[in-house]
Amino acid sequence: MILRMEKGRAENYSGTICPDSQVDIPDGVTFIGGRAFFRMREHNVTDIPRFRSISIPDSVREIAAEAFYRCEALETVRLPSGLTRIEPGTFRLCRNLREVILPATIREIGKQAFAGCTQLESILLPEGLERIGESAFAECQNIRQIKLPSTLVQLGPGALSNCASLLELAIPEGIAAVSDNLLEGCVNLQTVSLPQSIRHIGMTAFANCQSLAILNLPAGVQQIGLGAFTKCYSLHQLNLPAGLERIEERTFLGCMELQSIDLPATIHTIADMAFKSCDALTHVLLPDRISKLGRWAFDSCRNLRHIHLPEHLVHLGEGVFIRCEQLAHLDVHPENPVFSSRNGVLFDKTFKRLLIFPEGHPAIQYAVPDTVREIAAHAFKGCRHLTRLVLPPDLRTIGTWALTGCTHLRHLVIPPLVKSLPEGVFSGCSQLETLILPDGLEHIADKAFAECKSLRRLRISAHLQTAGERAWVGLRLLEIRPSPEGISSPLESCEVILFPDWTRLTFEEASEYCQCVQPQNGRISIDFALYDLLWGQLERLQERFAMAVVQMRCPDRLTRERLSLYLDFMRTHAAQLLPVIIDQQDLEGCQTLLEHKLVQESILEAAIERANDGHHAEILLRLLHYQHQTRGPRSFRYEF
């Protein structure tokens, strides 16, 4: 061992020590230097000391910051009497430190002094200790109990954060604040006693205390910081002190066992995501003074059943009640100057904007009042009971994600004055079969039809001006029509594209197919060259066949080269395609093969037998008729 000694100072330890060795610092040393036992060599290689214990004489009056940093084998240490302060990071990342004996003279423990001492199970803090610094015991994952002395006046931010084994804590009288993230991540903490001197609860002070079930807040608490109780999954009882004016952002986010909460009459604001994902919350009485509910304030409160909006509430944030699956009615105080309700549905005061149709509303059919000109973002989101929705003729605007998740909605007509379909507007309408779009539609945004698995066909005007890069993801068949006045022969003048089964594509592949439909010079059209290129790369023969059949139905858009491309493909793979066509009773596909005489005699007989065995009468008749045309009359023994 080498431990450089100079004028009563011990620093710059180096050398290799056996794992069971002990370091003895000579009597007379008064100072131990910073990182005295840690050395960085070239190329970021470290010399990590391996001694298990260290003897520090009482002559030492000062130990510098990070003096024992990363002494990873160190297990026990007794600090000298007379020492008044443990400097920042003194024992940081001493991962095997199990026992620390502190002298009665200690008055302050510095920032991160014991942070990362993962094997430390307990520590006796002496009376007389006044301050514990930021993250002083952070990540001490095995510490089970720690008694704070009555002389303590300050607990720094995160002082006990991520002490995963800590079970209980009593904070002494005189402490004025539960500091930011003080106990964040103490997942097994069950009991916390707070003194009456507490006036402030800091940001994320109790965040992720997953086992904390009950907490009594002192009457003098005036402010609770954002995220203070985030992910306190077991919290089911909490009193909020009178005089509290705001519920900050994410205060109770993820408190899944919280069934009810009494809001003080002084509350005027509930901020963004304050009660998000409080699954068990069934009832909230909003105080008369409240004026603002922030964005997603009650998002995913899946058992919340009824809300009354008081007179002075004038601001509702986006998505304030989305995913509240049991929320059946929204009522509004009659004197409220901004909002109104009718039959449990929320409107603005003039009934020109429909703001929220509650997800748990019992109606299966609903006609939007004729006065409505705008449907707000998320207005009908997740309304799984609705099977029929009638929109008013003078409707002009539909907000983003307005109808997403209406899983039982089957038919919808968009009024003629609507010019734009915003992002995700019909996303997740999995049973939507018919959607009639207005001829004056100008813009379709991304994900407008995502997961519309039953929407087989969509017709749009060729005069659509813009479309999002992934606007068509989820759509199967798109038909582009010219304006009504320009139609002479609808079948020949339209452009049709059949997209492959989106569920089998990667995100990149789906995006490539969306690029086939692009607006150019004020018109939207299909890039058939790109379409055929992507079509040729598909490995699923049946899907390629179905896409080719659709293109062959529009001869006006089919060049000789494209027709030849499709016919060559069908002729080459007829033997593989025909059995699938028969089993799926694909009459259109069967007719396409037969019309172009692509079924060779060598496979015809087997196809007839397959159709007969499967009792597919219509396909069997077509195959027999084709056989009659190509080979002349024949006797047959088939039953229909």
Q: Is the pLDDT of residue 311 over 50?
A: yes
Residues 40 and 2 in one domain: yes
Residue with more model confidence, 502 or 555:
502
Looking at residue 129, the DSSP 8-state letter turns out to be -
Whether residue 122 is contained in a domain is answered as yes
Alpha-carbon distance 373 to 394, whole Å? 6
Residues 154 and 219 in one domain: no
State the CATH number of the domain containing residue 5: 3.80.10.10
Q: Is the pLDDT of residue 59 over 80?
A: yes
Residues 194 and 289 in one domain: yes
Q: How many domains does the chain have?
A: 3
Answer whether 90's CB lies under 8 Å from 65's CB: yes
Residues 293 and 216 in one domain: yes
Residues 89-108 have a mean pLDDT of: 96
Residue ending a domain, choose from 122, 137, 166: 166
Residues 311 and 226 in one domain: yes
Q: pTM of the predicted model, to two decimals?
A: 0.82
pLDDT at 411 (0 to 100):
94
- Categorize the per-residue pLDDT at 114 as very low, low, confident or very high, splitting at 50, 70 and 90: very high
Residues 82 and 146 in one domain: yes
Residue ending a domain, choose from 304, 327, 350: 327
Residues 128 and 240 in one domain: no
Q: What angle, 0 to 180 degrees and rounded to 10, lies between the N-to-C axes of helices 587-595 and 617-631?
A: 10
Residues 6 or more apart whose CB falls under 8 angstroms from that of 44 comprise none
Residue corresponding to tokens 């017709």: 459
Give me the domain span that covers residue 637.
573-640
Alpha-carbon distance 240 to 32, whole Å? 49
Residues 227 and 106 in one domain: no
Q: What is the DSSP string of 278-306?
A: -TT--EE---TT--EE-TTTTTT-TT--E
Whether residue 289 is contained in a domain is answered as yes
Residues 161 and 208 in one domain: no
Please state, as a whole number, how many other Cβ atoms lie within 10 Å of the Cβ of residue 599. Answer: 22
Q: How far is CA 53 from the centre of its chain?
A: 48
Residues 131 and 202 in one domain: no
Residue ending a domain, choose from 111, 140, 166: 166
Q: Is the pLDDT of residue 30 over 80?
A: yes
Residues 227-239 have a mean pLDDT of: 96
Whether residue 399 is contained in a domain is answered as no
Residues 224 and 147 in one domain: no
- Categorize the per-residue pLDDT at 3 as very low, low, confident or very high, splitting at 50, 70 and 90: low
pLDDT digits (tens, 9 = 90+) for 593-617: 999 999 888 899 899 999 998 888 8
Residues 160 and 272 in one domain: no
Q: Is the pLDDT of residue 420 over 80?
A: yes
pLDDT at 45 (0 to 100):
46
The rounded percent of the chain whose pLDDT value lies above 70 is: 92
Whether residue 525 is contained in a domain is answered as no
Whether residue 456 is contained in a domain is answered as no
Whether residue 377 is contained in a domain is answered as no
Alpha-carbon distance 479 to 511, whole Å? 19
Whether residue 104 is contained in a domain is answered as yes
Whether residue 503 is contained in a domain is answered as no
Residue with more model confidence, 627 or 309:
309
- Categorize the per-residue pLDDT at 1 as very low, low, confident or very high, splitting at 50, 70 and 90: very low
